[in-house]
Structure 1
Amino acid sequence: MFGGVSGKGRTGPVLAVLAAAGGLVVFGPAGGSADAAAPCAGRPVKAVGFGAGELRLYKGNGYACAVTAAKNPGTRRRMSVTIQARGSAPAGDSGAYTQLAGPVTVHAGSRCVRATGAIAGGGSAQTGWVC
């Protein structure tokens, strides 16, 4: 049963809820927008593709953020991403993921940053220092 509503003569509220929910889907934000799907704040500054994925680096408001994204999401596999502001220790994320490792954010100020990303059995990438 839907929401605990059952019996004859009670379909009105159920249909109203379903219609309202359907309206959200039909009239909601447009799907496929790159801005809506961005995992990090800031603007994209570098993307490096490799065999099974892409390493993406974003910067804005004194922060830098990185993610490793799988080209074919869905299969759980070992993924990692690290990011480092010049003069600071690197920060990272790794695990068995289906789509993204990260996002990992560091305070960069006006310093250069670098990132690395990898997907098991699918290669790796590095951005080099980005200023």
Structure 2
Amino acid sequence: MQITRSSIATVQGPPDRFTGDVWIDAVAAAPPPSRVTASLVHFMPGARTHWHRHPLGQTVWVTEGVGLCGRRGGPVEVIRPGDRVLFEAGEEHWHGAAPDRLMSHLAINEGDDDHDLVRWLAPVTDAEYAALPPDR
């Protein structure tokens, strides 16, 4: 058993991976041979990830607020507390807060054999982000 006291500082999401104001709290980062990580990610209104993909997929579980997510070629979807979103292995996607609401989610990832977790891509454009469903 290992207990990690709350000594890891909240870090700001870097601008080469996020648009807007994003804050990240590490939840789980077990040493090898474990390959699972989890982070609690806080998105201020309008903030979002860049396009990205995970070699073994990603699950996000919304804890508060209202968010948006999308996958390459698909519609923008609204996500709310309690919703779980599975992005499949290699699926290009993004996620973040709605324009007028904050959103927090738990992001769970598993690294591949090389412990790679994510491949970051281009920013989500304002037009891609603004393609909201009419009934949000």
For the aligned pair, the TM-score class normalised by the smaller chain equals: 0.3 to 0.5
More helix by share: 1
Structure label with greater radius of gyration: 1
TM-score for the superposition, normalised by structure 1: 0.34
State the structure with bigger RCO (CA 8 A, min sep 6), 1 or 2: 2
Q: TM-score, normalised by structure 2?
A: 0.33
